[in-house]
Amino acid sequence: MQDVELSRRQVLTTLSIGTAGIAGCSFGSSSDSPSGTEPEQTATSTSQGVESPLSIDAPGEYLRDESVSIRVTGAEPGSEVTVRATMEDGEGIEWSSEMLVEANGQGVVDLSKQAPKDANYDGVDPMGWCWSMQPDGSDGEFRTGWDSAEKTVRITAETDTTETVHKLQRRMQAEGVTESSITSDSKGFLYEPAGDGPYPGVLVLHGSGGMPLRNWARLLASHGYVTLSLQWYGTDDITPTETYSGVPLEYFDTAATVLRQRDNVVDGPVGVWGTSKGGEAALLLGARFDWVGAVVALAPSSLVMVGENFKTSTWSVDGEPVPYIPAPDRATETATSDESGVVIRKFYEAAVDQASEEAIRDATIAVEQTDAPLLLVSGRDDQLWQSSALSERAIRRLEDSDVSFPYEHLAFENAGHAIGPPHKPTTQSMKYGNWVYGGTPAGNAEANAKHWSTGLDYLERGLKTEG
């Protein structure tokens, strides 16, 4: 890599997956298909005009964080079956995958049990058909979009002589989940489960990209939480700052109050689910406010880092900056670039390396004061900042403090910065624009799938478990 001169805003402006295009690009659920839903299946004809013997066994619809297995029956034993999956993303770009699989002795192809002979992934992977999808004529991230309640996934099974088609409806939220805007005291989008409740409340915090994580919030609402996807900086009159510099932690406190005052929200603790800079905020809130009942921090920093302006902390309390790690000397030259894109991780590594022991001590978030279930999630190949090493700092502090609340760090070897809800195409997830996020398609897919259920479990333990 060669050093490259970057503007201050360039270096720090997209240090998260909190942009509209990345956040919430998920694809699956945690509940069974609705009862009474019949799969929509179209059988085509062979060249002799005979109806296809092939049949695809899959649900008719599913919530997007559910693992969906594809099973084909009716093939000749030992024959080769091509299975294709196709869908459009939120921008109308078509994504598809193709798997060549040998039917077993019963003429069955089961992608949850069989490794394809030829595919864009290796080994047995029930959701490989999903995350291995490639875009048609685009090299950008898969964008879920939030303008529709469901999308159609087309599954085709084909042999040399016949084919059949099955259509899945990928639901973006559970039935009855509603959306509304919050514009008083706080800004964001509120997602509420069906019924009167009361339900636990959860704040969802975007990263430095600045866009509310609407898809994440409505998926959490599908699991029984009144969820506020908060916008914590911006150029309007409601958000407290225009950039992520000097953002008052009181703003989050107010948002929690707004949430708790709703009639359908339990009068109790509130969960905080944040990513990147929002993960840093989640750790700070857990350490400072007793209303926090659970923390899920994705790709976070356990040290308060410098804000977007390179001159002060990202956060403030009572108008004073929260102690932070300053920008390193020659800050704009610590970001590097080559043909793969811009790598920001070196900026943060240099900042920590150059910081004094006193600065590190003061900037360290007191995670031991959280007193609530705490989950940290990171990718060891995170190229935006060293989230695994920073999460390990928090774990060591928790171990040294001998806390009584549950905590855990899920670190994924081949994952990068773009960790989010599961079961989405990840073949383009290693970059966003010119910014390198890291990981591999398989590694990022694994992190997405495996952290999600654990995060839901931590919310459950902190917000729904009595006693």
pLDDT given for residue 139 in this prediction: 78
Residue positions counted in the chain: 467
Judge whether 417 and 276 are in contact, CB under 8 Å: yes
Against a cut of 0.85, is the pTM above it? yes
HSE at residue 98, side-chain half, CA atoms within 13 A, is 8
pLDDT given for residue 349 in this prediction: 95
The Cα–Cα gap between 53 and 57 comes to 13
Tokens read off for 211: 């866009």
The Cα–Cα gap between 240 and 207 comes to 15
* 110-119 long-range contacts, CB within 8 A, separation 24+: 110/69, 110/70, 110/71, 110/72, 111/69, 111/70, 111/71, 111/83, 112/69, 112/70, 112/71, 117/80
Which amino acid is located at 153 in the chain? V
Judge whether 228 and 210 are in contact, CB under 8 Å: no
Which amino acid is located at 49 in the chain? G
Query: From start to end of 195-237, where are the E strands?
Result: 199-205, 226-231
Q: What is the dihedral of CA 461, 426, 173, 257, to 10 degrees?
A: 50
- Beta strands 247-248 and 315-317 are parallel
pLDDT given for residue 149 in this prediction: 72
Q: Rounded to the nearest 5 degrees, what angle is found at the Cα of 200, between the Cα atoms of 195 and 201? A: 105
Which amino acid is located at 393 in the chain? R
The Cα–Cα gap between 364 and 285 comes to 13
Q: b/e per residue, 414-440, with b = 16+ CB within 10 A? A: bbbbbbbbbbbbbbbbbbbeebbbbbb
Q: b/e per residue, 19-42, with b = 16+ CB within 10 A? A: bbbbbbbbbbbbeebeeeeebebe
pLDDT given for residue 143 in this prediction: 82
Q: pLDDT tens for residues 350-387?
A: 999 999 999 999 999 999 999 999 999 999 999 999 99
The Cα–Cα gap between 453 and 30 comes to 8
Tokens read off for 47: 């060249």
Contacts of 10 (CB under 8 A, 6+ apart): 335, 342
Instruction: Name the DSSP class of 269.
Output: E
Which parts of the chain have pLDDT scores under 70?
1-50, 146-148, 331-339, 466-467
Q: pLDDT tens for residues 27-72?
A: 233 332 223 333 344 444 343 445 779 999 999 999 999 999 899 9
Judge whether 384 and 344 are in contact, CB under 8 Å: yes
pLDDT given for residue 341 in this prediction: 85
The Cα–Cα gap between 70 and 74 comes to 14
Q: Which domains can be identified in the chain, with CATH numbers? A: 2-28+174-464 (3.40.50.1820), 40-171 (2.60.40.2240)
The Cα–Cα gap between 241 and 308 comes to 11
The Cα–Cα gap between 402 and 10 comes to 41
Contacts of 246 (CB under 8 A, 6+ apart): 307, 312, 313, 314, 315, 316, 321
pLDDT given for residue 33 in this prediction: 28
Closest CA relative to residue 249, chosen from 281, 271, 273: 281
The Cα–Cα gap between 19 and 170 comes to 22
The Cα–Cα gap between 445 and 132 comes to 9
Judge whether 55 and 70 are in contact, CB under 8 Å: no
User: Is residue 452 helix, strand or coil?
Assistant: helix
